[in-house]
Amino acid sequence: MKNTLNKALKTACAASALTLASSVAFAGGHGISACLITKTDTNPFFVKMKEGATAKAEELGITLKSYAGKIDGDHQSQVAAIETCIADGAKGILITASDTKAIVGPVAQARDAGLLVIALDTPLEPMDAADATFATDNFLAGELIGKWAAAALGADAANAKIGMLDLAVSQPSVGVLRDQGFLQGFGIDLGDPNKWGDETDSRIVGNDVTAGNEEGGRKAMENLLAKDPMINVVYTINEPAASGAYEALKAIGRENDVLIVSVDGGCPGIADVKAGVIGATSQQYPLLMASLGVEAIKKWADDGSKPSPTPGKNFFDTGVSLVTDKPAAGVDSIDTAKGTDLCWG
């Protein structure tokens, strides 16, 4: 997997709210078309995902159309995009769902119409609502930063005051998995592992939502600091939210005594780890997810075969690595030099 990752990483309207981000035709005589539907077209994670899909589509002679909502959580734009892809006769859809439950109906319509639907990064609920899922093991990503945070604090972990900066009130699967993974890694008993916010451990100050962006992270951090200004550990759904949390802490002079952990592994996030803004982050590989997804659609169009999951898992695992310059005993990690070699955005 590591060799595959390194190789792959180095190569590379329907509704008013719907943004047709690109329409590139590389038919090459194949007559195969595919759609990429992301949550936004501004988050570096989705930008890199689009780059990976576009490059692979060009290589394979596939016409790729890319769609994105205006903001994370823009479910209706994704529904409109699916309808457009069906009408256009696409062979397959790659989607990072904003609402992993509500999108199931439209996805079923696409599958009934003969399209292969692959969830990227964010599993649908239920997961088998899509034909396949290519993703980071998001629970493991959370677990790695949780274990690292607990190890970094040592004995003080028993008295930690934790702020949880999640994604959205709709609790999409990617947000639940990272949140619950972090808590388990930190040593906190979970309630219902299929949702966040029902834990009873007194170390958790509270949960707030960020929409996965810097402004949301800042506001959520301010809200939690109002509940307890002595928070000393902050879990964040992604690195833009982490950056916002840091700014809120800096505004009250606490940027140097709070441990922030995150998930994504984009180049700005790795730079923040190197600068000490983020203590550790779990790096994922969106270019690989997207390029493999396009390959799967090509194979479906050619011979009707569907991709198989990673052995022992119900999805295809595209890998995750903990990135930190302060390694902790018992937690595998890479440093920011290696993280920079593999980063995106």
Residue 279 lies in a domain: yes
* pLDDT tens for each residue of 247-266: 999 999 999 999 999 999 99
300 with 325, same domain? no
Question: Mean pLDDT over residues 225-234, rounded?
Answer: 98
Q: Give whole-number Cα distances, 116 to 33, 91, 112, 305, 308, in Å.
A: 11, 6, 9, 10, 13
91 with 152, same domain? no
In total, how many domains does the chain have?
2
Q: Which of 284, 326, 301 is nearest to 135 (CA)?
A: 284
Residue 72 lies in a domain: yes
Q: Would the pLDDT of 80 be above 50? A: yes
Say what percent of the chain tops pLDDT 70: 91
Cα dihedral 272, 275, 278, 279 sign? positive
Question: Mean pLDDT over residues 165-176, rounded?
Answer: 95
82 with 38, same domain? yes
Centroid of chain to Cα 280:
16
Residue 106 lies in a domain: yes
296 with 237, same domain? no
110 with 251, same domain? no
Query: Could you tell me the residue range of the domain that residue 337 belongs to?
Result: 138-283+321-342
Residue 315 lies in a domain: no
Q: Would the pLDDT of 18 be above 50? A: no
60 with 148, same domain? no
Residue 316 lies in a domain: no
* pLDDT tens for each residue of 232-248: 999 999 999 999 999 99
131 with 217, same domain? no
Question: Mean pLDDT over residues 174-203, rounded?
Answer: 98
Residue 313 lies in a domain: no
Q: Which residue has the higher pLDDT, 10 or 345?
A: 345
* pTM for this prediction: 0.81
142 with 188, same domain? yes
CATH number at residue 208: 3.40.50.2300
Q: Would the pLDDT of 71 be above 90? A: no
63 with 52, same domain? yes
207 with 293, same domain? no
Range with the poorest average pLDDT among 45-49, 76-80, 100-104, 108-112 = 45-49
